[in-house]
A and B are shown apart, each in its own frame.
Chain A
Amino acid sequence: MNTTTEKYQRLYVSDISCASCVNTIEAAIGALPGVDDVEVNFAERTVNVSGDVTEDVLIKTITKSGYTACSLQDNSEDTNKENQELAHYKELLKKTIVAGVISLVIVAVTMLDLLPDLTTFKGQFSWGVVSLLSLFVLTYGGGRFFTGALKSFKNHNANMDTLVALGTGVAWLYSTFVVIFPGSVSEIARHVYFDTATLIIAFINLGSALEMRARGKTSEAIKRLIGLQPKTARVLREGHEVDIPIEQLVMDDVVRVRPGEKIPVDGELTEGASHVDESMLSGEPIPVSKKIGDKVVGGSVNKSGSFLFRATHIGKDTALSQIINMVRKAQNTKPEIGRLADKVSSIFVPTVMIIAVLTMNAWFNFGPDPKLTYILVTTVAVLIIACPCALGLATPISVMVGVGKAAEYGVLIRKGDALQKAGQLTTVVLDKTGTITEGKPVVTALETSEGSSEEELLRIAAGVEVNSEHPLAEAVVEASKEKGLELSSIESFEAISGHGVRALYEQKEVLLGNTKLMEDKGVKLGSLQSRSQELSKLGQTVIFVSLDGKPLGLLGISDPIKTDSKDAIKRLQDSGIKVVMLTGDNRATAGTVANLVGVDDFIAQVLPQDKANEITKLQERGEKVAMVGDGINDAPALAGADVGFAIGTGTDVAIESADITLMRGSLNGVADAVAISKATLKNIKENLIGAFGYNTLAIPIAAGILYPFTGILLSPIIAGAAMALSSVTVVTNANRLRWFKP
């Protein structure tokens, strides 16, 4: 598929003030090509459009008609959904109570033998009333099973409803037949099953209600993310600060955020400074410092100072909205492991029906008397106990919780398959720069020769390097800026390829470069040489600086290792995964970093375009490989790996080449993702074993397989309770994942 779009859009138009506005807007949008339907809600001031048209075109059209429109984040749908779910839940509970109370009455009169014998007219009449009462329970509490079963049947389809309708329907029909024609069955078989039919309906309604409750909890992660979005924003309008609903906020609005408040949308800080807690989005526990020009993310919490920012992304475009969308989509995908259950559940119900017929015939041919009673009890039990729901729910419900759990830790999983594969990894390949290290080289050592000062060294070096675009040069310039030094004015800058640069400072020759350059130009390094070797061993790159043929000193530059890289690598190794580092650096530098962080192996001097090949080589050896990189330079390697992890810098969620995006820069995200995936996979397996096990054991038992050996038969009432509980158990087990800590 090349495009997948949801073509239903909502826009907020703040200045709809009369009915004619409604007509104007409806006419303007209705005339657009691709629009199927447009509806303006005067009360809500919203425009709802369905059809193939972009939001941009809609906003422009409305603006042209003289109104201001903005995109509207559609949270109302979620509130709506919650209300509907709550209503359905209450409805199920009501049905449970009504069916339960009537059932208990019927159970009591049956068990206590309160009604006259069926052979008398009085008896027939009283049991007839019970039959009608049961019919009421069946239609009120179980009507949906019967209509569903009928519709499915007409469509050559069979589902849960079919089984429940058949089971309870047969029990009621048989019992009513006995009431009307008591003489047609032998005396010992003259038994009615109204209590069975009604209790099953009560149990199944209760099961559905409990399941619904538990299911609601599985989407808690999404609800939590939606809850991060504040309802109002304080914006500057005509020089005043006013509180407006978030839907009315438009692009480039300047927004005020005070300490303790949530940032409403994405933007760029324009005034003030603060620390912002982004943990709810990225999992990064330490508040991030923000100054003018920095990006702020909607949904994060302002900790200390008050500031202003300009809105750059609103509505569906905010990082938070995109995260919610991505998590939702991922929750709907099924990993490979669930495919078998899918196949089984597609043939499940007709198969159970066939088993029910076989049960019927087996008891007819080989069963004891009264045959009719045994046939009825076993057949109804088989139909009722079989639970396709547990089987069908086993995988998706765990994926829902697992994907949501991962999102809590700043780990965005794109598909269920990635979740499964991440749980089965044997090797994790880490790109060095930007993944293990910060990716921003800094000056970490300064050594001066006798007679020169650190200040002079840095001032001259930075003066030269300001002309260069090399990443190491940036580190030198940045270091001098930090010390507040004024750059020396440099003339005739000239690069000496592979060795360094040459320039003039106050008519004297300045050289910046490696040992080779200094030797070639006859600069005597003396004690600097041994210091340089020490620094190289620490993985630092050394630059010598000389002025007028005399050494001024040296600078050691390195890309610092992220503070938690080592721990994260250890966590991966502890879970049985081999960790390999991949880098373009030379072997010596790579070896030093590899040693420092404790990876199992490293591959050095790999050109960017060859990274994917290295992944393939590992896969050819039978390894299940994950690649962790920044998602931009490593795209082919990420795509080639079994699981591609893009390590983000905050909230860049749109990394297409990655299966899993880590919103914080820490490698702990990889370890978290692996741990959550493993736990989810284990949970799915438990559910699948449980659901398969339940059905393969329960159906034969209900059919009476134990009877010849133990004389035990399963009551259809127990079957109903077991069935109702089985899907609740699956959902509850999946919910256990919510408390998992990676």
Chain B
Amino acid sequence: MGILVNLLGVLLIAFIIWWFWLYKKQSEATIEGSSIDIIVDSGIYEPSVIHAKQGQEITLRFIRKDSNPCSEKVLFNDLDMSADLPIGKPHNLTFTPDKKGEFEFACQMGMYRGKLIVE
């Protein structure tokens, strides 16, 4: 019994590490055309990983459904951009990514997290 419970503990930890850190297949999307809808609800951006092409203007259309104040802002720290998201009304963020790389975006507290991958 003792071994079983301890083994269960180890497995649980392994699962947490794998599920939250190692397993990387988040909801991904490539921008078709020039704009993409990102739903902000219940603690996540959906899709949370967005692929874009360098030098091509894109519009990230944030649609906030969550009234929790956490979801109020979206910050792209590395890109020097931010936006205040109104509830229930799309907010467009239009820009041209001019350098390649992975750029994280998150809410003010870093709980909502997403990534823009510029290729």
Within 8 A of B (CB), among A194-238: 208, 211-212, 215
Q: How far is the CB of B60 from chain A (nearest CB, A)?
A: 11
On whether the beta carbons of A88 and B59 are closer than 8 Å, the reply is no
On whether the beta carbons of A350 and B77 are closer than 8 Å, the reply is no
Known: A215-B69, A350-B20. Contact between A342 and B82, CB under 8 A?
no
Q: What is the bound-complex CA distance between A334 and B107, given in angstroms? A: 11
Chain B binder among A351-359, A535-543, A654-662, A672-680:
A351-359
Chain B residue nearest to A147 (CB atoms) is B42
Known: A7-B94, A389-B109. Contact between A156 and B79, CB under 8 A?
no
On whether the beta carbons of B2 and A365 are closer than 8 Å, the reply is yes
Q: What is the bound-complex CA distance between A360 and B12, given in angstroms? A: 11
On whether the beta carbons of B87 and A84 are closer than 8 Å, the reply is yes
Chain B residue nearest to A390 (CB atoms) is B109
Chain B residue nearest to A162 (CB atoms) is B43
Q: Mark B1-32, 1 if CB is under 8 A from A, else 0.
A: 01001100100110011011101111100000
Within 8 A of A (CB), among B16-54: 16-17, 19-21, 23-27, 34-35, 41-44, 46, 48
On whether the beta carbons of A342 and B67 are closer than 8 Å, the reply is no
Q: How far is the CB of B1 from chain A (nearest CB, A)?
A: 10
On whether the beta carbons of A156 and B23 are closer than 8 Å, the reply is yes
On whether the beta carbons of B26 and A144 are closer than 8 Å, the reply is no
Is the CB of A187 closer than 8 A to any CB of chain B? no
Q: What is the bound-complex CA distance between A329 and B13, given in angstroms? A: 40
Is the CB of A159 closer than 8 A to any CB of chain B? yes
> In the assembled complex, which residues on chain A have CB atoms less than 8 Å from the CB atom of B69?
85, 88, 211-212, 215
> In the assembled complex, which residues on chain B have CB atoms less than 8 Å from the CB atom of A650?
none
Number of interface residues of B (CB under 8 A): 57
Q: What is the bound-complex CA distance between A156 and B20, given in angstroms? A: 5
Q: What is the bound-complex CA distance between A332 and B46, given in angstroms? A: 22
Contacting A77 at CB < 8 Å: which of B86, B108, B110? Answer: B86
A-B contact count (CB 8 A): 166
Is the CB of A4 closer than 8 A to any CB of chain B? yes
On whether the beta carbons of B42 and A157 are closer than 8 Å, the reply is no
On whether the beta carbons of B59 and A4 are closer than 8 Å, the reply is no
On whether the beta carbons of A392 and B109 are closer than 8 Å, the reply is yes
On whether the beta carbons of B43 and A357 are closer than 8 Å, the reply is no
Chain B residue nearest to A353 (CB atoms) is B16
> In the assembled complex, which residues on chain B have CB atoms less than 8 Å from the CB atom of A81?
84, 86-87
On whether the beta carbons of B90 and A50 are closer than 8 Å, the reply is yes
Q: What is the bound-complex CA distance between A408 and B43, given in angstroms? A: 34
Q: Mark B53-77, 1 if CB is under 8 A from A, else 0.
A: 0000101000000011110010101
Can you list 15 A-B pairs, Cβ within 8 angstroms, ordered by A? A1-B98, A4-B95, A6-B93, A6-B94, A52-B59, A81-B84, A84-B86, A87-B67, A150-B42, A332-B83, A333-B80, A346-B110, A361-B5, A364-B9, A365-B6
10 A-B pairs besides A388-B111, A389-B111 with CB distance below 8 A are A3-B95, A3-B96, A4-B93, A77-B86, A156-B19, A156-B23, A157-B43, A332-B75, A350-B20, A389-B70
